[in-house]
Amino acid sequence: MDAIVLFGHGARDPEWARPLERLRELVLARHPGLDVRLAFLEFMQPGLADALEAAAAQGASSVRVVPVFLAQGGHVKRDVPEILAAVRQKHPSLKIELTTALGETAAVLAAMAEEVLRPD
């Protein structure tokens, strides 16, 4: 894996992206020098296709797309495969791995359960 794209929904409020930026910093702290990019479905830039093309242009041959969503709703189930299919057609040699939505993984769910019960 040469690059990671953290793919979020996006929102009108510019502050919405802050946790995604923080997540990018935390990933870079664990893996300095890795090509880690943000991408958004709507309201914010860049879009997923643009981020993937930028990673390919920087020399990435294998990219992991991580949906930073709580759950696999219509956006992740329908919109993302369509976007990836279009990018794959333009860049047939680029390997694109699509992971599970972060909020559905056991480790993140366990951390959320602990947080819910955290004393005041």
| Interacting residues with its own copies (CB under 8 A) | 4, 6, 8-9, 11-13, 15-20, 22-23, 26-27, 29-31, 64, 66, 68-74, 77, 97, 101-105, 107-117, 120
Among all residues, which ones are annotated catalytic?
9
In the complex, the smallest distance separating the C-beta of residue 39 from its own copies, rounded to whole angstroms, is 14
Cβ distance to its own copies smaller for residue 90 or 97: 97
In the complex, the smallest distance separating the C-beta of residue 36 from its own copies, rounded to whole angstroms, is 8
DSSP string, 106-117: HHHHHHHHHHHT
113 vs 85: CA distance, rounded Å = 35
Q: Could you tell me how many residues make up the chain?
A: 120
Give the number of other CB atoms < 10 A from CB of residue 99: 13
In the complex, the smallest distance separating the C-beta of residue 109 from its own copies, rounded to whole angstroms, is 6
Reference 61, options 98, 97, 95; nearest CA is 95
47 vs 51: CA distance, rounded Å = 6
